[in-house]
Structure 1
Amino acid sequence: MKKIIFIVLAFVLSINIYAKANIEKQVEKIRKEFVKINSEKNYEVETVGRPESEKFIEYYRKNKQLKKVVEYYNIPNEVIIIQYYLKSNEVFFTYKIERKYEIKETGENIKIGESQKRYYFNKGDLIRYIEDGKIYDKGNMPKKYIENAKWIPKKLSELEN
């Protein structure tokens, strides 16, 4: 009986190790593509809205292909920046920064907090979520993060203006 339990535990452990290694490989590919997109020059940038408005969007195209979309939200006491990265017309990575401000009596904005969220996708499936340095991979990711990721556009058609 102990041998059977040991074999089952060894099998489950090996599956978890393989799954973790597979996610790491996918995340490494995503990181390489992220660096490539951010290091490329001479994008055609289309801006919709104005920086002083509540919301504006920048579309980054290379050879007429959409590579990156950045949404800016200027809400009282808060600035939200959401960056979407695309490859083959699919979002593979989303980076969200939320900065909270306090407005002093003098009218000066003082930053009082910041949070960063990173969503890694493989074919529309959330495989890793990072929030303020805490890493959650598919298989051990709390359901609330999976639910939160549902608002993220996954296809080019959902992002184009």
Structure 2
Amino acid sequence: MKISNGSYLNLIKEQNNDFGNRRQERLENRRERLDQTFDELQQKAIDEGDAEKAQKIFKMSEVIENRLDRKLDSLEKKTGSYNWDRHLDNAFDELQAEAYENDDADMAEKIFGLSQAVKSDGSDVQKQLLLSKLLSDWRDTGTTNQVAIEQQDSAEVNSSAAVDTSPVEIRTFG
């Protein structure tokens, strides 16, 4: 069997992409397991009423997750794939970090609760209620995040438009 030069190069490129995809999948699984472990520890600290411990756990998780995220971001560029769950988790982490920076442990706990609800298999109605409560609480505290307000405002505008009510699969690892 004779392989033309162009086909051979495509075969090598596909093989390299496959290695990158497998490595990316392994790193994403590792990050997800670490994220779940830190989330459980943080939830335990919140349940105990120890906001300082929850904040320390959050900061530790951020250091480790950021290290893995740098690797995953470069692999995403190489492979062309994109993990929405990881980026959504990072967005919640940024909101939570901002709340901790503003010494608002209560808001950070609410953001953490919302992120857990979004990750869970809960109903969309529950998620919408939690999100609207979070955004209204955030507006009331005066530490308003302009992006969050714009998202809520655009969600209110889009709520009058046709909404896709098809079921959404949310994967959890456990």
Q: Which has the higher strand share?
A: 1
Question: Under a length normalisation based on structure 2, what TM-score does the superposition of the two structures give?
Answer: 0.36
Question: Under a length normalisation based on structure 1, what TM-score does the superposition of the two structures give?
Answer: 0.38
Specify which structure has the bigger relative contact order, considering alpha-carbon pairs within 8 angstroms and separated by 6 or more residues. Answer: 2
